Each structure stands twice: as C-alpha cells, then as structure tokens.
Structure 1
Amino acid sequence: MFIFGHRFIDSVNFYHTQNIDAIDNTPSNSTIYLDFSEDNLDIIKYCRANEISLAVGVEDIRELIYASSLGASFILVQKELASTAMRIANNYLFDAKILVHIEDEDEIEELAILGVDGVIFSTAIIKTNS
C-alpha cells in the first residue's frame, strides 16, 4: 500500500499546478496533481506528451475512466468512491494506482481492508505558484 504524506514515512510530494508554465516551477521527476476538468485537458495532454507523472483527482466513475484513459499514474478519489473505483480499476486493468484522500491515519486500516492501492494526506500535495 502506498502512503503519501504521513509523518512516519518519507514519500514524494505531488505538485498541484494551475497551468503548464507552473510545471517549470516543480522539481524534476515530480508528479503533477490536478483535478479532472475539461479546462485542465491541455495540462493533462502536456504531461502525457512529455512523460510527466500525473495524478488526477476525480469525483465520479466517468472521470475515473477518463483519467485512466488519459494516462494518469495516480487517480485520487474520496473514500466513498474507493471500493467502486478499485473494482473498476481491477476489472479493466488500469495502469494507474487508486489513491484515497485521507485526513486521519486511523483511516488507513479500513482502506487497506478495502484493497485500495494507497492513501494520500493533504500534506503531500503542494500548491505551486504560476
């Protein structure tokens, strides 16, 4: 199980960007994070074309499938969507790992039992300036 942003575990950060230019302000080999939106398709396609690791936050199954099809390395979902997202990811053999946003480490056990690929605390997502 991947755990990003926990105080005990060293992990990479995800860089939340608002535009392509902001990607230049992130460390090399960064994972770029953004929420799925039609407005962000240019950034998603840019990351894919330039082989930049991408994490996409989704709100529903449709966006989950889009994120996978667009080449996301990680797909971030809320806990309520986790079980369904994992079933779909396993059924369709997604390359992306399913991560669940959490605020409390007590949630890790429940999500491990559900079989999610990993969890991410908000401290692992760094907002970049454009």
Structure 2
Amino acid sequence: MIIIGHHGINYPKFRKITSLDEINSVENTLIIWFESADDKGYMLSHHCIENDVRYAVWIDNIKDFVIYAALKPVYLILEKSPEIYQKIAETYLYDTKILYVIEDEEEIEELAKLGIDGAIFRQVLR
C-alpha cells in the first residue's frame, strides 16, 4: 500500500497547479496535481504527457476516472467511494494508482482492508 504524508515514511512532495504557466515553475522533483475541473480541454494533462512531467489528478466522478486513467497520471486522487474506483481499476488493468485522501492514520487500516492502492494525507495537498 502506498502511504503519502505519514511522518514516518519518506514520500514525494506535491504541488497544486491550475494553469500551464505554473507547470514550468515547478521543480521536476515534485509531483504536480490539479483538479479535473481545471484541466480545460485536457491541456494540463497533455502538456504533462508531452513533457514527461509526473502528475496526479483529483477526480470526483467515474467518467473522469476512466478518461484520466487513460491519460496515465502517476496517481488519481479521490475523496469518496474508494472501493468502487478500485474495482474499476482492477477490471480495466490501469497502471495509474488510486490515492484516497485521509485526515488521520487510523483510516489506513480500513483502506488496506478494501484493497485500495494508497492513501494521501490531506495536508500534503495544501
């Protein structure tokens, strides 16, 4: 299980962006992330793909989940119904990993029982 943001585990740093201009100012050691609603015409994701930028997308519906999984971000970040998304990912054999947003480490056990790819603490995304 991937755990991002726990104080006892080294993890990659994330930086939120909302525009193409912001991507160029982010160090290449960081994983950029954006909300699917900010990716007008999939310009952000296409830029990341074309320039080998590691990125993650915050999604909130199954349609976006399926589309963005095909665009191969490192992670898809979600906040609801992780078991539904994990089942879809397993069915379609996506390479992208699912990260469920958590507030407290006590939530990790339940996600592990559900077979969710990973957890990301909310503060990492601020």
Amino acid at match of 1:76: I
Equivalent in the alignment of 1:23: 23
Equivalent in the alignment of 1:50: 51
Q: Give the C-alpha shift of residue 31 in structure 1.
A: 1.2
Partner secondary structure for residue 119 of structure 1: strand
Which runs of 5 or more structure 1 residues have no equivalent in the other structure?
none
- Report if aligned partners of 1:101, 1:119 keep a CA contact under 8 Å in 2: yes
Q: 1:24 to 1:121 in 2, by over 3 A?
A: same
Identity %: 31
Separation in 2, partners of 1:10, 1:71: 23
Separation in 2, partners of 1:89, 1:19: 28
Separation in 2, partners of 1:100, 1:74: 10
Q: Give the C-alpha shift of residue 30 in structure 1.
A: 2.2
The 4+ residue runs of structure 1 with deviation greater than 6 A are: none
Equivalent in the alignment of 1:104: 104
Residues 61-112 of structure 1: CA deviation (Å, up to 9, x unaligned) = 111101101221100111x320011110011000100110001111000001
**In the alignment, structure 1 residue 34 sits paired with structure 2 residue 19:** no
Separation in 2, partners of 1:40, 1:33: 16
Separation in 2, partners of 1:100, 1:117: 8
Separation in 1, partners of 2:41, 2:82: 23
What is the TM-score with the length of structure 1 in the denominator?
0.89
Amino acid at match of 1:87: K
Separation in 2, partners of 1:43, 1:29: 18
**RMSD over aligned Cα, in angstroms?**
1.4
Higher mean C-alpha displacement, 111-120 vs 29-38: 29-38
User: How many residues get paired?
Assistant: 125
